[in-house]
Amino acid sequence: MTLNDVFARLQATPISEAVAESAWIFPTVESLHVAAITLVVGSILVVDLRLVGLSSATRPSSEVEARFLKITWAAFAAAALTGATLFLAKPIAYAQNPFFLGKLALLLLAAGNMAAFHVIVQPRLGLRAGRAAARVCGFLSLVIWVGVVALGRWTGFTL
Amino acid sequence: MLNAFAAWLSRTPLTAFLGNAAWAVPAIQTLHILCVAVVFGGAVFINLRILGLFDTGQSVQAVLRRFLPPLVGGVAVLALTGALLIASEPNRALFRTLFWAKMGLVVIALAASLGEGRLAFRGAQDAPESPPHFILKALAVTSLGLWIAVIFAGRWIGYVSGWPGSPT
């Protein structure tokens, strides 16, 4: 069974048909998705700008992270759940859309960047090179999340 | 009058440009959503702090000083990107009740957020460390609800139909 068969089966499920056919489910879940993703980006923006050194300079970046990443994760869970629901409306079409696939790839890249920051960079913030690397991670994160929003919008236009 | 305005707008080079460049509308929408992130993020941080649910190590005033200016700046850029999106398709949003409802909600939500700032700083002169007044807390719940309503209205504009007899 190929991945396309899986998506074809998924598309035939009652929940998938409900999302695709209902006049209100898709726009409502889409609104929640926008609220969630703007909160992901808004909170991560605070953390990244602190990492880059452009704002909240009076607070340690670890404290800014501890506060704001809680909101990021909660909002990300909501964005993933609502995103998965939107995917159910047209699994085959989404799975073939290059912008949607690009968005998923950027999300993986964001996760990799975050992991690299926590495992490699954060323990070395006492070093000059560590602080420089933290700035790079913060900047990369900003670029990646702008890309995630952009590819999400392009997905909507090309589906 | 709205008909005449939309007709005039659709003959401008701006509408022609936005219609011809396939990348323009999604790019402007991306900027629009990024600004929503700044505004809605700021509103969530401010209101959750006032309600005592977030960043309680910082004073309400400090959180307002940090996030109210970008919120206001974000609304200004949203007005600009929103105007460009209208110019890209003049016969769409202007003739839908929900668009005007959204504009009304934005004005009230912005007034609520600015009102929170005034109230918090006025109270701070009397007693800097006192917990937020219940009026400020009520305003925080209202403002949060209003900004969420703005997001919902924005998304739903694309799904509702226009007024009967409006230009297409």
pLDDT-derived band of residue A98, with 50, 70 and 90 as boundaries? very high
Q: In 10 A of CB A98, how many CB atoms?
A: 11
Predicted-complex ipTM score: 0.94
Report whether pLDDT(B124) > 70. no
3-state class (DSSP) for residue A26: helix
pLDDT in tens, A79-88: 999 999 999 9
* pLDDT at residue number A70: 96
* pLDDT at residue number B128: 55
* pLDDT at residue number A159: 87
Average pLDDT over residues A96-114: 98
Inter-chain residue contact A31 with B33, CB threshold 8 Å: no
pLDDT-derived band of residue B84, with 50, 70 and 90 as boundaries? very high
Average pLDDT, chain B: 94
Residue of A25, A28, A32, A34 to mutate, testing the B interface (most B Cβ within 10 Å of its Cβ)? A34
- Nearest Cα of chain A lies from the Cα of B45 at a distance, in angstroms, of 9
| CB within 8 Å of A50: residues ≥ 6 apart | A56, A57, A59, A61, A64, A65, A138
> Residue A63, Cα to own-chain centre: how many angstroms?
22
Inter-chain residue contact B33 with A154, CB threshold 8 Å: no
* pLDDT at residue number A53: 87
Taking the Cβ of residue A147 and every Cβ of chain B, the question of whether any pair is shorter than 8 Å is answered with: no
Q: Is the dihedral of CA B102, B87, A103, A46 positive or negative?
A: negative
Indicate the burial class of A101 (C-beta count within 10 angstroms; 0-12, 13-18, 19 or more).
middle
Inter-chain residue contact B37 with A42, CB threshold 8 Å: yes
CB nearest B151 (choices: A35, A45, A149): A35
Question: What residue in A sits closest to B157 (Cα-Cα)?
Answer: A27
Inter-chain residue contact B33 with A38, CB threshold 8 Å: yes
- Using only C-alpha atoms, what is the Rg of chain B? 19
Scan residues 40-59 of B and list those with Cβ closer than 8 Å to A.
40-42, 44-45, 54-55, 57
- Nearest Cα of chain B lies from the Cα of A1 at a distance, in angstroms, of 36
What are the residue ranges spanned by the domains of chain B? 2-156
Q: What is the maximum span of chain B, computed from C-alpha positions, in angstroms?
A: 58
Inter-chain residue contact A38 with B156, CB threshold 8 Å: no
Average pLDDT over residues B103-110: 98
CB nearest B40 (choices: A35, A56, A154): A35
Query: For residue A50, which of A139, A126, A129 has the smallest C-alpha distance?
Result: A139
Report whether pLDDT(B1) > 60. yes
3-state class (DSSP) for residue A121: helix
DSSP B133: P
DSSP secondary structure string for all residues of A37-70: HHHHHHHHHHHHHHHHTSS-TTS-HHHHHHHHHH
* pLDDT at residue number A34: 98
* pLDDT at residue number A106: 98
* pLDDT at residue number B95: 97
Report whether pLDDT(B129) > 80. no
* pLDDT at residue number A1: 75
DSSP A120: I
pLDDT-derived band of residue B126, with 50, 70 and 90 as boundaries? low
The answer to whether A134 and A51 are in contact (CB under 8 A) is yes
Taking the Cβ of residue B19 and every Cβ of chain A, the question of whether any pair is shorter than 8 Å is answered with: no
Inter-chain residue contact A31 with B152, CB threshold 8 Å: yes
Indicate the burial class of A78 (C-beta count within 10 angstroms; 0-12, 13-18, 19 or more).
middle
pLDDT-derived band of residue B44, with 50, 70 and 90 as boundaries? very high
Average pLDDT over residues B2-10: 96
- Nearest Cα of chain A lies from the Cα of B166 at a distance, in angstroms, of 22
| CB within 8 Å of B160: residues ≥ 6 apart | B96, B97, B98
* Across B109-118, B145-154, B157-166, least confident range: B157-166
* pLDDT at residue number B125: 59
What are the residue ranges spanned by the domains of chain A? 3-158
Average pLDDT over residues A64-75: 96
Taking the Cβ of residue A143 and every Cβ of chain B, the question of whether any pair is shorter than 8 Å is answered with: no
Report whether pLDDT(A30) > 90. yes
pLDDT in tens, B22-39: 999 999 999 999 999 999
